[in-house]
Amino acid sequence: MPNDAPPPIHSAKDALDALAGILGGALPGSVASADDPAAALLSDPDVASAVTGRLRGSGSGAGNDTLCRWLYDAFRSNVAELQLAVLRFVPTLAGVYLCRAVSRKPLAGFEAVLLALYAHAAAQRGAGEAETVSLPNLANPSPYHDAKVPPKGKPVDLDVAVLSQPLEPHGTVRATRRARIVGAVLQLYHGKLAHMPLSSKMDFCEFCVAWAGTNSKLDGADKQRLPPAPDGGAEKWRRVPLPWELFQPVLQIVAHCLLGPTGSDELKAQAARAAECLYWRATETVDARAVLATRSLVRLSQMVEEPIPEPSFSGAIENMAELEAMRANILNNTK
Amino acid sequence: MAAAEWDSRSEASPTGDWPPAAAASPVKGKAAALQESDAGASASGSSEAKVDDGNIQEAESSLREGLSLNYEEARALLGRLEYQRGNVEAALRVFDGIDLQAAIQRFQPSLSEKPLSKRSNKLRSDSSNSGSQHAASLVLEAIYLKSMSLQKLGKAMEAAKQCKSVLDAVESIFQCGIPGVMVEPKLQETVSKSVELLPELWKQAGAYQEALASYRRALLSQWNLDDECCTRIQKRFAVFLLYGGVEVTPPSLASQTEGSFVPRNNVEEAILLLMILLKKWFLGKTHWDPSVMEHLTFALSLCGQTSILAKHLEEVLPGIYPRTERWYSLALCYFAASHNEAALNLLRKSLNKNESPNDIMALLLAAKICGSNYLLSSEGVEYAKRAVKDSESSDGHLKSVALHVLGSCLSKKSKVASSDHQRSLLQTEALKSLNEAISLDRQNPELIFDMGIEYAEQRNMHAALKCAKEFIDATGGSVSKGWRLLSLVLSAQQRYSEAEVVTDAALDETAKWEQGPLLRIRAKLKVAQSLPMEAVEAYRTLLALVQAQRKAYGSAKNGTEDDEDKVSEFEVWQGLANLYSSLSYWRDAEICLQKAKALKTYSATTLHAEGNIHEVHEKIQDALAAYFNALSMEVEHVPSKVSIGALLSKQGPKFLPVARCFLSDALRLQPTNRMAWFYLGEVHKQDGRLADAADCFQAASMLEDSDPVESFRSP
């Protein structure tokens, strides 16, 4: 981070002003004077394309990258809505970072932002706490069902699964810890998915396809039907190592894009493509756990969602004429 | 609402749908008469509807039961007609005039009195109950349809509010939940549909917390929902919990009996619901829904709980999945849970010639499982070869994967080959397969790594070095085993200082906690360079780390941590003991051995080291006893075999055949054991077979130039 520090960010307005200063002409004036700066930062398409464009640009993410500095400051401001606005760029940030990190370019700017996000995730989780899931056993009653065990009987012991290992503090990104750090950041993003705009999720799915590096294995027919991956022409995003600690949060996010309540067919199509690429990636090493999870996603993407039942009208209405008259009456009375 | 608007709308809509509106009402007078009995019922008294009774079924039944249609009810009927015809906007305009609050107020007393008056005046109460129920049903249905109309017009938020008001109304009418038998079917239907609709509307409106609350309200309150409806809601809720991207607060603990399971987070709640859904199906309460199993598969594999998933898959009744598919899925579950044998047995059944012998995914999985076990490697080779053949006939995507597992199986098989000739054949074949796999898929670093290991083990250090570097480049140095391989290959080339540089670079890229294996290599590199003081120092650092780890994790090892990445304290003491005895610091060596023994009482390595010390002190019998004890701990302990052979070869000619036997045995197990070759050469020399001896010495000297400081494959 450069020494000539920009003024600190305390509010969304500060952040937007600072961003306007950094992006210069790339940001339309209308945005810079937006009424709701936090909302503009989170979901304005012009802001999004200006920022992601910069993040994807060559040479981004170095130690002196002012945009990274801005992301860092905005996140560290502890203003919740600003933190959301920073998280919105996690797909691009992580996407570009992981692809470039493989080529071992200096990326201190990206790493500073990711470490800030990671520290936040670690603090949220609590020191040394793993994220666990107790697996229900139907022999015990639950709010949603009754069990036939006598109430005096001891509850059946539950299996506890570790969803994510404890997050130990990290001051630098060591290569062998990269996946875990980015994985934890993606989990943070996953927790806020409901607030994230569509374009952010689209970016994520796009990078997933690149990370998996198995695009060529999709069926030819499929490739034509799906929109071609946006290709800036500038840089080819590449395959990256996807150990489980990274693969797992990636899958969770793709699953949300595919099956979550976003209601966007475009996103669903992109997510289905990402899921399929991840499936092929999992089969490459015959990683059973990943094969099971991705295979289910691919299958679910091909299933049709059950629609909400329509109202049923039992008993036909026979005397239309009289109803017509009734209608006229009522309408006259409502003047 | 403006009538003009209404008119313009109805003109715009194709009139062809409408029946001719010419017929005038024949019973105007009757409607006017009815109006009196309806006095005060409507909130907007002046605009009281002049209702035709007509033949409308509902209106008729209302009238029969002593209630007339009031303004709301008439509107309700009309709106419903419009909705039914698909005139959503028109329906909405009609519905807009209904005052739900007023209607509820009207319905409430008669219905909530019901429990009180039930005994005293059963007949009257029942009839008035069903009468007002019918009226309530009409109005509530109208609001429900209004909500549907709004939803169709894309106004999800308003729709949700309307729909919620239906449920609020029902709750205030039936304060103790809906009784199962007393409710009119139409009313029940409206209630069920609204309960089901509400969370979907909140979701569409983006109000996820409300959606969550309404799902729980749907499932935890008494709505008297039928099984199918409840099933649909449970499934949608599970999906919402799993994929909604919403951080959810757990359901409240209130009204929970002791010992009941209360989910703490999204995933737990979703898994619970999915399990309940499956159980419902087993009990025949709902139809089979394949997506439920897929959601559960996804959730449980994310948690790594595939053995629980296997239980659920096993419970699926026959006829749902083709049996080979079920076997394959189960095999995936068992393999992911490290129950390799169970997984392989299922795959053997599945790959039987009477089932689906050419299922490439099953073949690949079977080969992969076999590739992890020497004894199964031959079987694995067979599966992998079939997979390669199959992949050629299908789309070819999986050919590189098939060749990769084939290479791994062949390499494994070469380790247990019965002859040198067979071994070298298998090794060549393994390399060929891996090479071919790489030519098909240049992207996969795992392939490059396995190739590197194969080269290294075949002592082609030059090629191995290239692979190790390539692997580190392809992974950006993010995978420890790449660093490890590079450093070991360099050590095998006796390029110790470079190996140290690599180890240091790797240490830089590794978090403190995981540095153990690298520190061990560093210590061994120091030993190899005859830098004893630095080696001791390196071991000391390693020991500090290992002891700190032991303290941090406590003695209770849960086994879920990746233990293979950890150096054990025992290993460190053992390493130090070896170091000290190589320096002839016997006392120190013995202390270290005692420490090692305290951690692991029966260890071939420790016994072997003790034997070494005895041997140096010329206590031949004790040394031999220690070596044999080591062998009885571990039948295939190569260093002990070599030591026994070496020791016996020095005991005079009559022991030479036995020595030769032990040494050959050691070489069968570990053909690259330099010392074994050397002593075998000695034996041959003493026996006068000079040519053989020369061969052995040559082998030993060649191997000396290619010995890594520790085994290439992780211990």
Nearest to B76 by CA among B114, B107, B33, B113: B107
Residues of A in contact with B263 (CB under 8 A): 136, 142
Strand partners, B211: none
User: Which residue is associated with the tokens 């991207």?
Assistant: B245
Q: Quick check: helix, strand or coil at residue A15?
A: helix
Beta-carbon separation of B243 and A258 below 8 A: yes
Q: By the CB < 8 Å criterion, does A258 face chain B?
A: yes
My answer on whether A178 and A82 are in the same domain is yes
Beta-carbon separation of A145 and B189 below 8 A: no
Nearest to B231 by CA among B201, B196, B264: B196
State how far the alpha carbon of B634 is from the alpha carbons of A236, B602, B631, B638, B639, in Å: 53, 10, 5, 9, 11
Q: Which residue in chain A has the smallest CA separation from B329?
A: A292
Domain ranges within chain B, ordered by starting residue: 67-107+131-225, 654-714
What's the start-to-end Cα distance of chain B, in Å?
A: 81
Q: Which residue in chain A has the smallest CA separation from B294?
A: A296
What pLDDT was estimated at residue A322?
A: 59
Beta-carbon separation of A194 and B279 below 8 A: no
Which B-chain residues 615-674 have CB contacts (< 8 A) with chain A? none
Nearest Cβ partner of A162 from B275, B294, B560?
A: B560
What pLDDT was estimated at residue B394?
A: 66
Instruction: Tell me which residue range forms the domain holding A116.
Output: 1-127+158-196
| Long-range contact pairs involving B176-182 (C-beta distance under 8 Å, separation at least 24) | B176/B222, B177/B221, B177/B222, B177/B223, B177/B224, B178/B222, B178/B223, B178/B224, B179/B224, B180/B224, B182/B114, B182/B129
Nearest Cβ partner of A138 from B144, B279, B361?
A: B279
Q: Quick check: helix, strand or coil at residue B244?
A: coil
What pLDDT was estimated at residue B311?
A: 92
- Show the low-confidence residues of chain B (pLDDT under 70): 1-70, 107-133, 175-182, 253-258, 394-396, 554-565, 714-715
What's the start-to-end Cα distance of chain A, in Å?
A: 70
Beta-carbon separation of B259 and A140 below 8 A: yes
State how far the alpha carbon of B286 is from the alpha carbons of A137, B181, B281, in Å: 20, 22, 5
From CA B598, how far away is CA B601, in angstroms rounded?
6
What pLDDT was estimated at residue B622?
A: 92
- Judge whether residue A38 has pLDDT over 60: yes
Beta-carbon separation of B364 and A286 below 8 A: yes
From CA B381, how far away is CA B407, in angstroms rounded?
8
**Chain mean pLDDT for chain A:** 83
Residue finishing a domain among A146, A167, A196 = A196
My answer on whether A163 and A297 are in the same domain is no
State how far the alpha carbon of A267 is from the alpha carbons of A201, A227, A257, in Å: 7, 11, 6
What pLDDT was estimated at residue B66?
A: 41
Distance of residue A136 Cα from the nearest chain B Cα, in angstroms: 6
Nearest Cβ partner of A331 from B3, B302, B477?
A: B3
A vs B, Cβ pairs < 8 A, gives 301
My answer on whether A46 and A169 are in the same domain is yes
The answer to the question of residue A245 being in a domain is: yes
Which residues lie below 8 Å from residue B566, measured CB to CB, with a gap of 6+? Answer: B516, B546, B549
What pLDDT was estimated at residue B713?
A: 80
Q: Which residue in chain A has the smallest CA separation from B364?
A: A286
What pLDDT was estimated at residue A93?
A: 94
Quick: pLDDT tens for A111-142: 999 999 999 999 988 877 888 888 888 888 88
Chosen for mutation from A330, A331, A332, A335 (greatest number of chain B CBs closer than 10 Å) is A330
A31 versus B226: which is more confidently predicted? B226
My answer on whether A112 and A123 are in the same domain is yes
Chosen for mutation from B53, B202, B261 (greatest number of chain A CBs closer than 10 Å) is B261
Question: How deeply is B359 buried, as exposed, middle or buried, from its count of CB atoms within 10 A (0-12, 13-18, 19+)?
Answer: buried
% of chain B with per-residue pLDDT over 70 = 81
How many separate domains does chain A show? Answer: 2
My answer on whether A89 and A203 are in the same domain is no
My answer on whether A23 and A101 are in the same domain is yes
Assign A159 a pLDDT band (cuts: 50, 70, 90).
Answer: confident
My answer on whether A211 and A93 are in the same domain is no
Beta-carbon separation of A104 and B303 below 8 A: no
Residue type for position B236? R
From CA A33, how far away is CA B293, in angstroms rounded?
51
Torsion sign over Cα A133, A139, A143, A145: positive
What pLDDT was estimated at residue B10?
A: 39
The answer to the question of residue A71 being in a domain is: yes
Which A-chain residues 151-180 have CB contacts (< 8 A) with chain B? 151, 153-155, 158-159, 161-163, 168, 170, 174-179
My answer on whether A73 and A205 are in the same domain is no
What pLDDT was estimated at residue A215?
A: 76
Residues of A in contact with B48 (CB under 8 A): 333
My answer on whether A185 and A268 are in the same domain is no
From CA A137, how far away is CA A117, in angstroms rounded?
35
Quick: pLDDT tens for A233-291: 446 788 899 999 999 999 999 999 999 988 789 999 999 999 999 999 999 889 999 99
The answer to the question of residue A182 being in a domain is: yes
Question: Which fold is adopted by the domain B654-714?
Answer: 1.25.40
From CA B259, how far away is CA B650, in angstroms rounded?
72
What pLDDT was estimated at residue B20?
A: 37
CATH number of B67-107+131-225: 1.25.40.10
Quick: pLDDT tens for B269-293: 999 999 999 999 988 888 899 999 9
A101 versus B52: which is more confidently predicted? A101
User: What is the enclosing helix (H) or strand (E) of A164?
Assistant: strand A159-164
Residues of B in contact with A256 (CB under 8 A): 243-245
Q: By the CB < 8 Å criterion, does B120 face chain A?
A: no
Chosen for mutation from B52, B243, B292 (greatest number of chain A CBs closer than 10 Å) is B243
- Judge whether residue A2 has pLDDT over 70: no
**Residue B484 and residue B517 in contact, taking contact as beta carbons nearer than 8 Å:** yes
Q: By the CB < 8 Å criterion, does B9 face chain A?
A: no
Which residues lie below 8 Å from residue A102, measured CB to CB, with a gap of 6+? Answer: A238, A240, A241, B474, B475, B476, B478
Distance of residue A29 Cα from the nearest chain B Cα, in angstroms: 29
My answer on whether A211 and A173 are in the same domain is no
**Residue B83 and residue B77 in contact, taking contact as beta carbons nearer than 8 Å:** no
